[in-house]
Amino acid sequence: MAGADFAKGSRGLEGGGSDDLTVLRGTGNRVLAFLVNRLCGSRYTDLCYGYNAFWAAACLPALDLDTDSPAPEDGRYLWGDGFEIETLLYLRVAQAGLKVVEVSSHERSREYGVSNLNAPRDGLRVLRTIFVEVGRAHRLRKQRKLEATPAMARAR
């Protein structure tokens, strides 16, 4: 409500935290956040946490999510259906230049059920997402630059 387009929770801010973040997951999260921040010029403190709020009119076009692909019959995840969705959202929001604010959030211990997270497998999905999305952003910038160049200049 204070002018941000996208608000995201962070366990890494003062007042935030987690009751069940393992050393492996915490280290992986910090490494992946560092990588995204270096590649995208963002300043995320927590990359792998899906507590978000955003203005649909400002963000949905920038997110450009695939809502038409049917789920694979073999039960596998579609691109963005796993834990990498947070990273996908954060990269696209940063690349669109939208105003992001982080708010402290504390993750409590799970009361029921078991987490579906597999740190090595899902960490690799997040890493793949980072590289695919950085490449996508590069291609989009190049395409926009070409479209903005007059036809006569492109023909030379």
Predicted confidence (pLDDT) at residue 13 exceeds the cutoff of 70 = yes
**Cα(137)–Cα(126) distance, rounded to whole angstroms?**
16
pLDDT at 154: 54
CB 52 within 8 A of CB 6: yes
Structure tokens at 59: 């963000």
Structure tokens at 153: 């200049």
Average pLDDT over residues 28-55: 94
pLDDT at 71: 72
pLDDT at 27: 95
Structure tokens at 30: 């910090």
pLDDT at 155: 59
Q: What percent of the chain has pLDDT over 70?
A: 96
pLDDT at 144: 85
The band of 96, judged by pLDDT with boundaries at 50, 70 and 90, is: very high
Structure tokens at 75: 């039960």
Count of CB atoms situated within 10 Å of the CB of 109: 7
- DSSP, res 109: P
Q: What is the mean pLDDT of the chain?
A: 89
Predicted confidence (pLDDT) at residue 137 exceeds the cutoff of 60 = yes
pLDDT at 2: 85
Burial class (CB in 10 A: 0-12, 13-18, 19+), 84: buried
pLDDT at 153: 60
